[in-house]
Amino acid sequence: MSKEFFNGRLCHILLCRDLNYLGVRLDEMWFWVGHHAVRFGKEEFLLITRLRFRPMPESVNSLPKAAPGSVHHRYFRGSSTPLQDILGKLRGDEFDEAEDVIKLGYVYFLSHIMLGQEYCSFVPDWLWGLVEDITTFEAFPKGTNIYIEVSMVWLNQRLKPKPKLENRNRRLQNRLETG
């Protein structure tokens, strides 16, 4: 029986082996592992997460907004809400409706667990409208969104190679090109 786990050290080691070379598609990352260049793209993301890809909406502005009376307005007055406030509310036991705990759980799960936002991060406005309608929430292309946000934006922007690793990346790139 296989066990699924998250290993932060393994992620760190892998990200230190990130290859940056010309010709790589923008929607994939390459790593140098055990004398091999290893790709991480949509196919690998799909195999790991089992989240499906569908076309994204033209804009998050086209998604339904959180209306007055929504869970966002009832508990947080419709204002910008950090994840730590949602977690605090989930730890409490006073909810107006039974569905509210599920909706707040969806917001927390998508923001913190799937998108990797920190507790001090504010929940994106579009997410509040999305959880109000379970059909819209289920139809939303979570795999596409999470792949774009986490793999391509978050990892590439926040975990840029350190300057001293750039020389090593160039040497690895030369090895790949020369065979």
Write the pLDDT tens digit of every residue in 7-47. Answer: 566 666 666 666 666 677 767 778 777 888 888 777 887 77
Please give the residue that has the higher pLDDT: either 98 or 139.
98
When comparing pLDDT for 164 and 123, which is higher?
123
DSSP H helical ranges for the chain: 8-16, 42-49, 71-76, 83-91, 98-108, 125-132, 134-139, 142-146, 155-158, 163-178
User: pLDDT value at position 1?
Assistant: 43
pTM over 0.75: no
Alpha carbon distance 179, 158 (integer Å): 31
Which pLDDT belongs to residue 73? 87
